[in-house]
Amino acid sequence: MTTTTSASPHTTLTPLGAANVRWSGGFWGGRLEQTRSVTVPSIWGSLSTPEVSPGWRNFLIAAGRADGEHEGPPFLDGDLYKWLEAAILLLETGPDPELERVVDEVAALVAEVQREDGYVHTPTIIAARRRQEAVALADRFNFETYNLGHLITAGVRHHRLTGSNVLLDVARKAAGFLEGLAENHRLQLAESAICPSHYMAVMDLYRVTGEDRYLRLAEAFVQVRDDFHGGDDNQDRIPVREQKTVAGHAVRANYLYAGLADLVAETGDADLRGVLENLWHDVVDTKLYITGGCGALYDGASPDGYPWQREISRVHQAYGRAYQLPHTTAHNESCANIGMILWSERMLALTGSAEYADVIEQVAVNSLLAGISLDGTKYFYTNPLRQVRDLPYPLRMPGETAERPTPEPPPSDERLRASYMSVFCCPPNIARTLARSHELAMSTSGDALWVHLYGDAEADVSLEDGRSARLRIESEQPWDERVRITVTEAASGGVPLRLRIPAWAEGATVEVNGGTPEPAVAGAYAPVDRDWQAGDTVELTLPLRVRLRRGHRLAEELAGQVAVTRGPVVYALESHELPEGVRLEQVALRRGATFTPVDIELEGQRLVALDGEAVVLPTEEDEDLYPDVEGAGLRTVPVRLIPYFAWGNRGPSEMSVWLPLVWG
């Protein structure tokens, strides 16, 4: 998960970490503190309570400290490692003796369980302890390399925080096991590269150790993948440099391309960089939901609809065709959305292009936050854009898989977030992402500080030429338009600024020391250069225009509908806000509809809702597939739209992001 690129010779930007930037409050600071006080403790409470989760108990059994058999999915080890990373990240931004004690306890037990050859996988180790057949990498869906990747990443984080080698040695040994596979069991390595977190992980290890062997290992991962003939579901049907379209499992795709971007940062491989840029645009231009959700399909086939029957392979939790963006059945796994952040921030570091930061914000403010309840304790696995009553077919619930269905799924309009789920990959992934949200905020180049996300923050920045500055940033983004930056200290003229003007902020202005506001170009970085003195200020105005957005002509499910956004925030209509007697499917918006922003509070959090007027379509409850259109006239009702990420926090409901458009 780490993205430190200070030693990367082929990047434009280097993200700032906790030593140089901290949230001090506001929207993102509040989320960080909730992650610290509520989310990470509650996830550990689940993982460490056998009646809830076998996550921690599996390690105790593997170490011989408890009796029993392995329980839970094969990737549960990785979920514990992601929680461990989240806990370490929180220790980077604030002391917590009890959390530090738990981190040390977890690190020590993982080191105890690890085999001498570096392999760690509690199902296999427990089976061997019980004298049962236990073969490493016997099934590609055992997720061993995925688990090891998350372990290596946590080990690197722990070393950076503490200087201790306890987990770094574990990470080195785990990478050594992967090296052995690359040298002697290439087919097994290629087959087992499911959700390839190990690409990013060994690059983290390369950066922290400077040892060339780990860079060579990452290159070997690509080579064995290119030599393996798999399917689209795991992006291994054709070599990576021949890929022009993103297909298959969205988490696997986004993790793969993030890892390849890490490799480009170190090698400068221009051809591979071009492939990644094209693939990223394939997603963003044709397959990304307006919420930043990734992976439209529960299940499908690829290439879907093509005459080449021999090429078709099963895909699941996957990117579909271009413009295939269903609403009610949108999958959009929370981990896939996080994967898009990982991929985009690496592309931002490579290029310095604002389009990548725009997508990071789009995902973070909408689909990332939708994955966790406002109180920080419950989670979505899937993130649809519409939820309706009386769906005539069951959808897999949060954390379910086809292999582990719930016998009696609840009604379609009662699919709510859960505090624990049988497939628990998303909650700790959300936690570690929120715990490091400050790393998404700012970067440096050789000659400037780049600000990507705005919120209440403190930054302390030094450039290689000796210029330095301390800054205080005050912003109520995404709710308010103004951002104020104050220089609190400056040396040698301070640090030039590059301030992101989001693509949604048409009409933005930049004002220095109360002077004349100057226009700024949306979708780019505004340069602000001068000899800074303590007390100097920069004020951005980023207009939060309410917009009605339509879909591409080929996006069939979006035809004749609009979504409402304000700045980066996507809004939704939830049935809690409907007048009595009005159903979700009856509500439409007139062309040119206007909305008034209003402050509300939900679960103790400040939100900005949108109040306006909607049209009530004269539809009747009818079971016919194609009933007649009613001839009654239209009437209007007041409606309130809430941020998409806030839906589902008030009990069962229907919800829709997209609403029909009435032109008359």
CA-CA distance, 480 to 583, in Å (whole number)? 32
- Residues in the chain where the model's pLDDT stays below 50: 1-5, 401-404
Give the pLDDT score at 629: 82
Does residue 249 sit within a domain?
A: yes
Amino acid at 571: Y
CA distance 174 to 114: 8
Do 179 and 326 have their domain in common?
yes
Q: Give tens-digit pLDDT for 359-414.
A: 999 999 999 999 999 999 999 999 999 999 999 888 876 655 444 455 566 777 77
Q: Indicate the angle between helix axes 97-113 and 144-162, nearest 10 degrees.
A: 130
Give the CATH number for residue 425: 1.50.10.20
- Residue 5 forms part of a structural domain: no
64: left (phi over 0), alpha (psi -120 to 50) or beta: left
Same domain, 295 and 396: yes
- 457 shares a domain with 411: no
Number of H helices, E strands in the chain: 17, 25
Total number of domains constituting the chain: 3
Give a yes or no: residue 9 inside a domain: no
Within-domain flag for 4: no
Q: Are residues 406 and 513 in the same domain?
A: no
Reported pTM: 0.96
Residue 297 and residue 309 in one domain: yes
Burial of 358 (0-12, 13-18, 19+ CB in 10 A): buried
Q: Are residues 492 and 570 in the same domain?
A: no
Q: Which residue range is the domain that position 533 belongs to?
A: 441-541
Does 383 map to a domain? yes
Is 296 within a domain? yes
Identify whether 411 is part of a domain: yes
Report residue 524: phi and psi, to 5°.
-150, 175
Both 498 and 366 in one domain: the answer is no
Whether the CB-CB separation of 646 and 552 falls below 8 Å is answered with: no
Q: What is the pLDDT of residue 405?
A: 54
Whole-angstrom distance, CA of residue 354 vs CA of residue 12: 12
Question: Is 419 found in the same domain as 386?
Answer: yes
- Evaluate whether 202 touches 118 at the Cβ level (below 8 Å): no
Domain boundary among 541, 560, 590: 541
Return the DSSP state at 423: S
Vertex 279 angle, CA 276 and 284, to 5°? 120
Q: Which residue has the tokens 């925030």?
A: 569
**pLDDT value of position 494:** 96
User: Is residue 405 reached through a cis peptide bond, with omega within 30 degrees of 0 on the bond before it?
Assistant: no
Structure tokens at 629: 């259109």
* Burial group, residue 173, by CB count within 10 angstroms (0-12, 13-18, 19+): buried
Q: What DSSP string runs through 574-611?
A: EGGGSPTT--GGGEEEETT--EEEEEEEETTEEEEEEE
390 plus 472 within the same structural domain? no
Q: Give residue 398's pLDDT.
A: 62
Q: Does residue 8 form part of some domain?
A: no
Cis ω for the linkage preceding 394 (within 30 of 0) = no
328 and 448 in a single domain? The answer is: no
Q: Which of 395, 421, 439 is the last residue of a domain?
A: 439
Residue 508: phi and psi, rounded to 5, are -65, 150
**Residue 438: which residues within 8 A CB-CB, separation 6 or more?**
16, 17, 18, 21, 22, 23, 28, 32, 93, 457
> Residue 35 contacts by C-beta under 8 Å, 6 or more apart in sequence?
86, 90, 376, 431, 434, 435
Continuous H helices in 228-304 = 250-267, 270-286
Handedness of CA 450, 430, 99, 121 (dihedral sign): negative
- Do residue 479 and residue 572 come from a single domain? no
Residues 292 and 322 occupy one common structural domain: yes
Last residue of a domain, one of 516, 541, 566: 541
